[in-house]
């Protein structure tokens, strides 16, 4: 990881904290006050042009961090700078520098053509006409929105709407784009389109992207760097491959045989489940599946097979079990 040089990093967090006071009922009338440390001393820096995956189980503190980065929430402690600004104090100034896409909640105008939502963005952000046309033209081309501009948003599919939302967040040329679950609920083709677009955006415009996701494929295809947060703390900060190594995560080969057979015994994998002619073989995520498939096909009557990637929850759970704390660059 690069050394953070003063003022160079686009996003800089030092010991960021967010403590919520929660009132909980105990007994009939009594209420106890309790402090919940949603974000418990997180430090990291993100350089201009980076594309970072921010992952963790639900309730880990992901969205609380994003809310502080975008200026929605005021931190309880620590230091935070985004694009040289203090997000909580300079929220509206920061808003001009960032784009935010909330995965499941659209900010587009339901009953109006997509085009109208973009018109509002232009006026609200005071984007010059020429720059607006250029940005919209690029988004329309790359996100394949041309045929959709005059369609009321309520008639768009989920994938079309997500592409529309991403375009809306980029018309004012933000330095940073925050995406909250940008591919959730999308079909395979829409997912591929969204990922391709984000990759191009990052490569061509140098837009810094920070995304939260439950889909490891998003991270694999987009992010060189991944941060894992749980219980309000940064558990890992480094490349995805490192996460697999630490978590010793496994992929699963699902094999359909011609008939019911005793558990398959091959080198480099162990059979974890047998259900009729179908068997599940676990093998290290870092290993290649090809030799394993060859070995199985050699010794068994193979009908069909499929491969399952480890999901993030599993990787993190295993990381815990191993007591791993932190990767490179985490204090």
Residues that bind another protein (CB under 8 A): 20-21, 64, 67, 70-74, 76, 88, 91-93, 95-96, 98, 100, 102, 105, 107, 109-112, 116, 120, 123-125, 152
Closest approach of another protein to the CB of residue 125, in Å: 6
Closest approach of another protein to the CB of residue 166, in Å: 14
Q: Tell me how far apart the alpha carbons of residues 172 and 268 are, in angstroms, rounded to a whole number.
A: 52
Nearer to another protein, 8 or 185 (CB): 185
Closest approach of another protein to the CB of residue 312, in Å: 22
Q: How many residues does the chain have?
A: 331
Q: Tell me how far apart the alpha carbons of residues 184 and 215 are, in angstroms, rounded to a whole number.
A: 8
Q: Using an 8 Å Cβ cutoff, are 242 and 52 in contact? A: no
- Per DSSP bridges, beta strands 51-55 and 225-230 are parallel
Nearer to another protein, 55 or 169 (CB): 169
Closest approach of another protein to the CB of residue 162, in Å: 15
Q: Using an 8 Å Cβ cutoff, are 110 and 153 in contact? A: yes
Nearer to another protein, 122 or 193 (CB): 122
Closest approach of another protein to the CB of residue 96, in Å: 5
Closest approach of another protein to the CB of residue 235, in Å: 23
Q: Is 310 left (phi over 0), alpha (psi -120 to 50) or beta?
A: beta
Burial of residue 36 (CB within 10 Å: 0-12, 13-18, 19+) is middle
Distances (CA, A) of 291 to 241, 251, 263, 273, 304: 20, 14, 19, 21, 16
Nearer to another protein, 109 or 300 (CB): 109
Nearer to another protein, 30 or 126 (CB): 126
Phi/psi at 274 (5° precision): -130, 130
Nearer to another protein, 71 or 182 (CB): 71
Closest approach of another protein to the CB of residue 17, in Å: 12
Across the beta sheet with 208-212, the strand order is 98-102, 176-180, 208-212, 51-55, 225-230, 233-238
Nearer to another protein, 35 or 241 (CB): 35
- Coil, strand or helix at 34: strand
């Amino acid at each position: 990881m690069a050394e953070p040089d003063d003022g160079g990093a686009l996003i800089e967090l030092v010991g960021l904290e967010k403590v919520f006071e929660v009132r909980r009922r105990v007994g009939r009338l009594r209420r106890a006050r309790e402090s919940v440390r949603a974000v418990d001393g997180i430090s990291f820096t993100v350089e201009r042009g980076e594309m970072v995956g921010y992952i963790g189980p639900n309730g880990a503190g992901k969205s609380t961090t994003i809310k502080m980065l975008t200026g929605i929430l005021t931190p309880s402690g620590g230091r935070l700078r985004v694009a040289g600004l203090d997000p909580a104090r300079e929220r509206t100034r920061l808003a001009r520098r960032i784009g935010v896409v909330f995965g499941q909640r659209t900010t587009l105008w339901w009953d109006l053509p997509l085009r109208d939502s973009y018109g509002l963005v232009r006026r609200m952000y005071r984007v010059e006409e020429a720059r607006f046309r250029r940005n919209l033209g690029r988004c329309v081309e790359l996100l394949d929105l041309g045929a959709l501009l005059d369609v009321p948003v309520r008639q768009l599919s989920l994938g079309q709407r997500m592409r529309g939302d991403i375009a809306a967040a980029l018309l004012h040329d933000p330095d940073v784009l925050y995406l909250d679950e940008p591919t959730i609920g999308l079909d395979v083709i829409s997912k591929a389109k969204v990922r391709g677009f984000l990759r191009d955006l990052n490569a061509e415009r140098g837009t810094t992207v920070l995304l939260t996701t439950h889909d490891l494929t998003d991270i694999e295809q987009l992010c060189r760097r991944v941060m894992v947060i749980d219980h309000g703390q940064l558990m890992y900060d480094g490349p995805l491959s490192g996460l697999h190594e630490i978590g010793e995560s496994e992929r699963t080969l699902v094999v359909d045989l011609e008939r019911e057979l005793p558990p398959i015994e091959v080198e480099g994998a162990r059979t974890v489940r047998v259900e009729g002619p179908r068997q599940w073989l676990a093998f290290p995520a870092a290993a290649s599946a090809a030799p394993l498939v060859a070995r199985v096909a050699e010794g068994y009557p193979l009908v069909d097979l499929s491969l399952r990637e480890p999901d993030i929850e599993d990787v993190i759970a295993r990381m815990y079990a191993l007591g791993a704390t932190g990767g490179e660059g985490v204090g």
